[in-house]
Amino acid sequence: MRKKILITGGAGFIGSHVVRLFVNKYPDYDIVNLDALTYAGNLENLSDIDRKPNYSFVKIDITNEAAINELFKNTIFDGVIHLAAESHVDRSIKDPLAFIRTNIIGTVNLLNAARSQWEGNYTGKRFYHISTDEVYGSLGKEGMFVETTPYDPRSPYSASKASSDHLVRAYYHTYGLPVVISNCSNNYGANQFPEKLIPLAINNIKHRKPIPIYGKGENIRDWLWVNDHARAIDVIYHQAAVGETYNIGGINEWTNIDLIRTLCEIMDRKLGRSAGESAQLITFVADRAGHDLRYAIDSSKLQRDLGWQPSLQFSEGLEKTVDWYLEDEQWLAHVTSGDYQKYYEKQYENV
């Protein structure tokens, strides 16, 4: 019997890498990509695999309960890998309700549909919820997030993700739904929408526009190559015990300012600019409201239990990422046309 797996948010940044990995690696699985194609969803991300016989796409908004129920009425799934979400912290500060609708209500619609389709016969079934390290809150200079760190979300985005994590666990404890959760640190790589720090900076450096750095640039993030996140999702989907949680991260902490200076050096070299030219674009701007100081993920449980390791050093991953954005100029041009300009002008009006 072929397996049928529903991947939600597969037209987005991380989801498209997960869909590609599963479609290529498992020709005997049928992969159904469900996505509402919001501003962040882009089917161009999958143009290299979208004709494969084991891939199909459905355009559905997960907040639409009737549409989700209809899908689950017509198609039997062996598993769900749930990535669809509103994912950008700055947008959550401006419009929290959109995050409540998609990240909380949308997740509950999927949990209900899976529960009612599987009707207590959970053999071979799995609901895998993709979450974030931001649910754990903000660290000081010391320590790392482990799987048992108490939740302390501080932005509307992370609060909505924390809420969805709690609901997923509630469905496990209350109904026995076979769930798995992972919480990952900041991803970077190809196909990331240029509202996020790294692709936004690459795009601005390319066009000699100011690079906005919030506050003093001292906030710390723990960066992981998106392909390594996709590999971790593969391993966890197939090997994790039901009810388990795994942290995923690269042990790769950078202050924003050091990261952007390194990126400027790479861009100077790739664009044939003189040393230090791109760094002159760095512009300190008003801080993000409630800006979490530091994230750092301890992923030793995943490394120890399931044998996953990040495959790339950050320096190599950043080079590859810059190469991708410079080579695939059309992708950036497409996603930065239209609504992106309006978003950018509103978010960075004084820059």
Q: Which residues are catalytically annotated?
A: 133-134, 157
Which of the ranges 42-50, 118-126, 132-140, 298-306 carries the binding residues for ligand DAU, by CB under 6 A? Answer: 132-140
**Binding track, positions 219-258, relative to ligand DAU; x by CB under 6 A:** x-x----------------------------------x--
Residue 87 within binding range of ligand DAU, rule CB under 6 A = yes
- Shortest spacing between CB 132 and ligand DAU, in angstroms: 3
What is the phi/psi pair of residue 72, to 5°?
A: -70, -20
Choice between 6 and 197, CB closer to ligand DAU: 197
Residue 182 within binding range of ligand DAU, rule CB under 6 A = no
Q: Side chain identity at 90, as an amino acid letter?
A: D
Choice between 6 and 248, CB closer to ligand DAU: 248
Instruction: Please name which of 131, 20, 126, 127 lies closest in space to residue 83, comparing C-alpha atoms.
Output: 131
How far from chain centre, in Å, is Cα 76? 26
Q: Name the closest residue to ligand NAD (Cβ).
A: 12
Where along the sequence are the contacts to ligand NAD (CB under 6 A)?
9, 11-15, 35-38, 40-41, 61-63, 83-87, 102, 106, 130, 132, 161, 184, 186-187, 193
Q: Side chain identity at 43, as an amino acid letter?
A: L
Alpha helices in the chain (DSSP H): 13-25, 65-74, 89-94, 96-99, 107-118, 156-175, 197-206, 226-239, 256-271, 300-306, 314-327, 329-335, 339-347
Size of the site for ligand DAU (CB under 6 A): 19
Residue 206 within binding range of ligand DAU, rule CB under 6 A = no
- Shortest spacing between CB 87 and ligand DAU, in angstroms: 4
Token couple for 153: 């979300």
With b for 16 or more beta-carbon neighbours within 10 A and e for fewer, the 33-63 pattern comes to bbbbebebbbeebbeebbeeebbebeebbbb
- Shortest spacing between CB 219 and ligand NAD, in angstroms: 14
Choice between 245 and 256, CB closer to ligand DAU: 256
Near ligand DAU in 254-283, by CB under 6 A: 256
Q: Name the closest residue to ligand DAU (Cβ).
A: 132
212 binds, among ligand DAU, ligand NAD, none (CB under 5 to 8 A by kind): ligand DAU
Residues 6+ apart with CB under 8 A from 334: 42, 44
For residue 151, give the 3-state DSSP assignment. Answer: coil
Choice between 164 and 219, CB closer to ligand DAU: 219
Exposed, middle or buried, 317 (CB in 10 Å: 0-12/13-18/19+)? buried
Secondary structure, 3-state, 280-318:
HHEEEECCCCCCCCECCECCHHHHHHHCCCCCCCHHHHH
- Radius of gyration of the chain, Cα coordinates, nearest whole angstrom: 20
For residue 19, give the 3-state DSSP assignment. Answer: helix
Contact with ligand DAU (CB under 6 A) among 129, 196, 231, 294: 196
Choice between 84 and 211, CB closer to ligand NAD: 84
**Which residues are near ligand DAU by CB under 6 A?**
87-89, 132-134, 185-186, 196-197, 200, 212-214, 219, 221, 256, 288, 295
